[in-house]
Structure 1
């Protein structure tokens, strides 16, 4: 936003005088490599390795880690967009949207964004529902893996069983 005083130049044309920016122009959101960021990255890497191992032993379909990575990328971008909007006093991303994407599997990207961008990382009213979505997502993956493995036909061999039988 600008504030100015209308005036005229020496030829009588309209011009803006004493123009001021009302909103401080800020730098875009920068990713910071802190101890908390590294902790989040390690936690996410361990989660993804566990997810891949679960796929490898045949308890989850192969597309689950892909969906998690896709949603994580989308959610990281949403956090980055929201941080920039907050800095520029623009329209923000609804917290319910962030929580929904987290619940659906994008929480690894959200966790890395929270720590690396230092955004939505302190407000308890946001963090409690966020961690609930993480727990619910992991619980849903556990239930889904049990149902998925129970529904598989005995003829279908997991990646691990295939690996063992070939050696």
Structure 2
């Protein structure tokens, strides 16, 4: 039986996998000198819940690690999500 936490977890897994794939694709395009994935798209994926995938992809692919203001914007998204998650956990306990 599918439960809401199971479905939400699966959706987050898919979203984070897609986020990592987009970072990888952008890295390959950067190396090849091709058309890049817009930063706003990468940040939108992080905002939608793909921030763990974005952080992991940055480390694994060594991509967008020094790019500003992208890095700051990504870390603001991560901080807001961490605060929201903490607040939700505290509210329900």
Normalised to the residue count of structure 2, the TM-score between the two structures is 0.80
The size of the alignment, in residue pairs, is 90
Q: Which residue of structure 2 aligns with residue 98 of structure 1?
A: 42
Q: State the alpha-carbon separation in 2 of the partners of residues 138 and 68 from structure 1.
A: 15
Decide which structure has greater strand share: 1
- Unaligned segments of structure 1, at least 5 residues: 1-59, 151-167
Deviation of 1:66 after TM superposition, in Å, equals 2.3
Decide which structure has greater helix share: 2
Equivalent of residue 10 in structure 2, options 51, 54, 66: 66
Normalised to the residue count of structure 1, the TM-score between the two structures is 0.47
SS of equivalent residue, structure 1 residue 91: coil
- Unaligned segments of structure 2, at least 5 residues: none
Q: Does 1:122 find its partner at 2:57?
A: no
Deviation of 1:145 after TM superposition, in Å, equals 4.9
Q: Considering only CA atoms, is the larger Rg found in Structure 1 or Structure 2?
A: 1
Deviation of 1:140 after TM superposition, in Å, equals 3.0
RMSD: 2.2
